[in-house]
């Protein structure tokens, strides 16, 4: 059986010991890898009694059966943990080169548990696992650290945290390949809580392919498909993800000034077109990726990867800032400090509104581009105002008596797309099991771009089916792991064929999507076990009650309630959002719940 290495590595940081044991192949077939495998392992390892920042929490790094095979965009890997930001199951995934190197170490998953007494970094190189003292590295920023530890490998095998993670900011990211991030939900804080500064990997175990000839043919076909799709062959390479700025603004669904408006008068100034014209140096790409959506941009002060659309929006429209160089610079600073740009930007925006309304005493105001870098520095070091912002907007706004001003779902800051102009996106945020997130079944393709089909963005009735479809499909893709952008040119059906060719285990498209549904339901079971209920499947009151006064979404609020009811029914869950026994049986998850009961 190829595709999987068949081994799990467990690292105990408390004892500085490691062990390796076989991957349960039944679990592998059922949950595939990546996010799915991570969720399944977390289910057994971390129960509701565990505080996310305690030694009992774990970090589970996983790759998938496609990772490192050379299939287009097969560079991604995941981390799974209990989120210190939301308390939910959390996984985040990232591209670059690290995941491919990780796969070549010969493990499918690496479970990191316990807490090292002193700062440590781990080296996994050609079969040997070494704990290194990191006392002198503690405090280093990401770029310098990557430079130092990654010299042998062109900086492409270092995964680490920056000061934000060390200081347990609940919006801290884990960084890899210098500027790539396992960003959302605070995994950097979990790594910091374990006194683990970095993991450097290098391996020589090249993944084997079961049906080489078929795989080669599928590689060829996928190359053709990606070259044929206007999105993957033109829009993304040419403009990057920021191409969405003008599009979202034009339809009145660009959250602005902490979601007080849905259009930003400065959108053009921070658009992908503007970025390309004035600041783009070149584009870059992850390992084995022919798309190359990564921007390399440059201002007078910085040069580096980014910014992505979400980062540009978070520090831009959401903070009322139209100063693109300032945004590029604060984005680079977040990378260097190891911070999630969406949560950092939106938390600053929340502080701006709290301050403008007089609930909080600070100089933060919408439009103050000059304060962005300072705020981000303060967050990473929990200094001054940063001490209050470091744990995200919900804790901040709650402290000041106005939790309703935190633009979060389940405590995680939402991205740019305002759900009042995109009804399905609102349902997505509310039901996303890691909180306000667009990577769990983004509805932009269906509700805005017409990919693969356009549906009415204001439609409520029937919307849940599309959200579920995207959620299941994305859960499968996150378990392979490949990049979701590939899916813009290549149908799911194709991934199932590649998965079958690589593993020799036959997956019809339906089997693969069913695995995605299984993952989604398991994640739901996890959150339910943590005490989450249907009451948590909600949105900030602003989005439910305050309609935009003008623009194309004028008069619309998010009609969450009917969508949510329909969603539960369509999911085969009861009216409290609990998967029904029949659904669990269908997905082969009954035994997990019975073990609990």
- Pull the structure tokens for residue 283: 């584009």
- Asked if residues 91 and 80 have their Cβ atoms less than 8 Å apart, the reply is yes
Shortest spacing between CB 226 and a copy of itself, in angstroms? 8
In sequence order, what are the beta bridge partners of 80? 60, 91
The site map against a copy of itself for 485-524 (x = CB under 8 A) is ----x-xxxx-x------------xx--x-----------
Q: Closer to a copy of itself by CB, 268 or 493: give it.
A: 493
Shortest spacing between CB 489 and a copy of itself, in angstroms? 8
91-121 burial string, b = 16+ CB within 10 Å, else e? bbbbbbbbbbbbbbbbbbbbbbbbbbeebbb
Shortest spacing between CB 472 and a copy of itself, in angstroms? 9
**Is 221 an interacting residue with respect to a copy of itself (CB under 8 A)?**
yes
406-430 burial string, b = 16+ CB within 10 Å, else e? bbbbbbbbbbbbbbbbbbbbbbbbb
**Is 228 an interacting residue with respect to a copy of itself (CB under 8 A)?**
yes
Instruction: From 188, 465, 156, select the one nearest 334 (Cα to Cα).
Output: 188
Bond from prior residue into 452 cis (ω within 30 degrees of 0): yes
Residue from the set 402, 570, 583, 593 that interacts with a copy of itself by CB under 8 A: 570
Rounded Cα gap, residues 178 and 147, in angstroms: 8
Query: With CB under 8 A as the contact rule, which of the stretches 199-207, 323-331, 346-354, 455-463 interacts with a copy of itself?
Result: 455-463
Q: Closer to a copy of itself by CB, 434 or 497: give it.
A: 497
Residue from the set 22, 48, 450, 541 that interacts with a copy of itself by CB under 8 A: 450
Q: Closer to a copy of itself by CB, 414 or 563: give it.
A: 563
**Is 588 an interacting residue with respect to a copy of itself (CB under 8 A)?**
no
Rounded Cα gap, residues 146 and 178, in angstroms: 6
Q: Closer to a copy of itself by CB, 127 or 452: give it.
A: 452
**Is 483 an interacting residue with respect to a copy of itself (CB under 8 A)?**
no
Q: Closer to a copy of itself by CB, 213 or 300: give it.
A: 213
Residue from the set 22, 127, 230, 401 that interacts with a copy of itself by CB under 8 A: 230
Shortest spacing between CB 462 and a copy of itself, in angstroms? 3
Rounded Cα gap, residues 45 and 6, in angstroms: 19
Q: Closer to a copy of itself by CB, 21 or 217: give it.
A: 217
Residue from the set 30, 195, 431, 464 that interacts with a copy of itself by CB under 8 A: 464
**Is 248 an interacting residue with respect to a copy of itself (CB under 8 A)?**
no
Count of CB atoms situated within 10 Å of the CB of 294: 23
Helix H or strand E segment including 18: strand 17-22
Q: Closer to a copy of itself by CB, 245 or 563: give it.
A: 563
Residue from the set 50, 373, 449, 544 that interacts with a copy of itself by CB under 8 A: 449
- Identify the residue whose tokens are 């660009």: 254
Q: Closer to a copy of itself by CB, 230 or 555: give it.
A: 230
Q: Closer to a copy of itself by CB, 504 or 510: give it.
A: 510
Q: Closer to a copy of itself by CB, 43 or 556: give it.
A: 556
Q: Work out whether strand 89-94 and strand 109-113 pair parallel, antiparallel, or are unpaired.
A: unpaired
Shortest spacing between CB 523 and a copy of itself, in angstroms? 19
**Is 468 an interacting residue with respect to a copy of itself (CB under 8 A)?**
yes
- Pull the structure tokens for residue 114: 């316990």
Half-sphere CA count of 543, side-chain side, radius 13 A:
33
Shortest spacing between CB 289 and a copy of itself, in angstroms? 17
Residue from the set 14, 130, 151, 465 that interacts with a copy of itself by CB under 8 A: 465
Residue from the set 197, 566, 589, 592 that interacts with a copy of itself by CB under 8 A: 566
Total interface residues for a copy of itself by CB under 8 A? 38
Query: With CB under 8 A as the contact rule, which of the stretches 42-50, 134-142, 208-216, 453-461 interacts with a copy of itself?
Result: 453-461
Rounded Cα gap, residues 422 and 483, in angstroms: 24
Q: Closer to a copy of itself by CB, 141 or 457: give it.
A: 457
- Pull the structure tokens for residue 134: 């990191």
Q: Quick check: helix, strand or coil at residue 54?
A: coil
**Is 462 an interacting residue with respect to a copy of itself (CB under 8 A)?**
yes
Half-sphere CA count of 175, side-chain side, radius 13 A:
32
Shortest spacing between CB 457 and a copy of itself, in angstroms? 8
Instruction: From 188, 132, 129, select the one nearest 160 (Cα to Cα).
Output: 188
Query: With CB under 8 A as the contact rule, which of the stretches 362-370, 391-399, 444-452, 529-537 interacts with a copy of itself?
Result: 444-452
- Asked if residues 337 and 380 have their Cβ atoms less than 8 Å apart, the reply is yes
Shortest spacing between CB 290 and a copy of itself, in angstroms? 13
Q: Closer to a copy of itself by CB, 32 or 225: give it.
A: 225
Query: With CB under 8 A as the contact rule, which of the stretches 98-106, 115-123, 129-137, 222-230 interacts with a copy of itself?
Result: 222-230
Rounded Cα gap, residues 85 and 184, in angstroms: 9
**Is 459 an interacting residue with respect to a copy of itself (CB under 8 A)?**
yes
Instruction: From 577, 540, 573, 583, select the one nearest 558 (Cα to Cα).
Output: 540
Q: What sign does the dihedral 261-423-395-311 (CA atoms) show?
A: negative
The residues, ordered by sequence, that sit 6+ positions from 161 with a Cβ below 8 Å of its Cβ are 142, 172, 173, 174, 175, 188, 191, 192, 196, 197, 198, 338
Please give the residue ranges that form the binding site for a copy of itself (CB under 8 A): 221, 224-225, 227-230, 449-456, 459, 461-466, 468-470, 473, 489, 491-494, 496, 509-510, 513, 566, 569-570
């Amino acid at each position: 059986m190829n595709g999987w290495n068949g081994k799990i590595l467990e690292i105990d940081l408390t004892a500085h010991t490691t062990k390796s044991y076989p991957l349960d192949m039944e679990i592998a077939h059922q949950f595939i890898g990546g996010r799915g495998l991570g969720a399944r392992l977390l289910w057994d390892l971390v129960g509701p009694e565990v505080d996310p920042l305690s030694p009992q929490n774990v970090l589970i790094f996983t790759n998938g059966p496609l990772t490192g095979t050379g299939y287009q965009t097969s560079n991604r890997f995941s981390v799974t943990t209990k989120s210190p930001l939301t308390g939910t199951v959390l996984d985040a995934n990232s591209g670059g080169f690290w995941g491919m190197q990780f796969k070549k170490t010969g493990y499918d998953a690496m479970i990191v548990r316990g807490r090292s007494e002193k700062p440590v970094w781990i080296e996994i190189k050609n079969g040997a696992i070494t704990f290194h003292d990191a006392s002198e590295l503690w405090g280093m920023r990401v770029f310098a650290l990557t430079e130092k530890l990654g010299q042998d490998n062109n900086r492409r095998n270092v995964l680490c945290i920056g000061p934000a993670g060390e200081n347990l900011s609940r919006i801290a990211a884990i960084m890899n390949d210098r500027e790539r991030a396992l960003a959302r939900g605070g995994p950097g804080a979990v790594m910091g809580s374990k006194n683990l500064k970095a993991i450097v990997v290098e391996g020589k175990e090249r993944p084997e392919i079961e049906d080489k000839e078929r795989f080669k043919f599928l590689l060829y076909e996928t190359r053709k498909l990606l070259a044929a799709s206007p999105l993957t062959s033109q829009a993304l390479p040419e403009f990057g993800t920021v191409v969405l700025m003008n599009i979202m603004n034009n339809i009145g669904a660009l959250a602005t000034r902490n979601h007080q408006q849905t259009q930003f008068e400065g959108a053009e100034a921070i658009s992908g077109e503007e970025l390309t014209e004035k600041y783009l140096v070149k584009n870059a790409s992850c390992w084995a990726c022919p798309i190359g959506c990564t921007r390399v941009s440059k201002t007078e002060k910085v040069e580096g990867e980014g910014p992505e659309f979400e980062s540009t929006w978070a520090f831009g429209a959401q903070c009322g800032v139209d100063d693109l160089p300032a945004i590029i610079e604060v984005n680079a600073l977040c990378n260097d400090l190891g911070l999630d740009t969406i949560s950092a930007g939106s938390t600053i925006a929340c502080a701006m509104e709290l301050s403008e309304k007089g609930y909080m005493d600070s100089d933060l105001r919408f439009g103050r581009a000059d304060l962005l870098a300072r705020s981000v520095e303060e967050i990473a070091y929990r200094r001054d105002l940063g001490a209050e912002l470091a744990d995200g907007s919900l804790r901040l706004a709650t402290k000041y008596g106005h939790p309703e001003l935190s633009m979060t779902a389940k405590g995680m800051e939402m991205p740019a797309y305002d759900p009042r102009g995109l009804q399905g996106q609102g349902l997505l945020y509310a039901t996303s099991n890691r909180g306000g997130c667009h990577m769990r079944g983004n509805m932009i393709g269906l509700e805005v771009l017409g990919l693969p089909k356009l549906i009415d963005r204001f439609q409520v009735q029937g919307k849940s089916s599309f959200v579920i479809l995207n959620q299941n499909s994305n859960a499968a893709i996150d378990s392979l792991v490949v990049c979701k952008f590939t899916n813009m040119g290549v149908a799911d059906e194709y991934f199932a064929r590649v998965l079958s060719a690589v593993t020799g285990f036959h997956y019809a498209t339906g089997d693969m999507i069913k695995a995605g549904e299984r993952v989604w339901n398991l994640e739901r079971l996890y959150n339910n076990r943590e005490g989450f209920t249907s009451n948590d499947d909600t949105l900030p009151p602003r989005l439910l009650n305050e309609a935009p006064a003008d623009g194309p979404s004028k008069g619309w609020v998010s009609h969450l309630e009917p969508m949510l009811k329909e969603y539960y029914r369509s999911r085969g869950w009861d009216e409290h959002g609990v998967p029904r026994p029949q659904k669990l049986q269908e997905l082969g998850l009954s035994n997990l719940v019975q073990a609990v009961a």
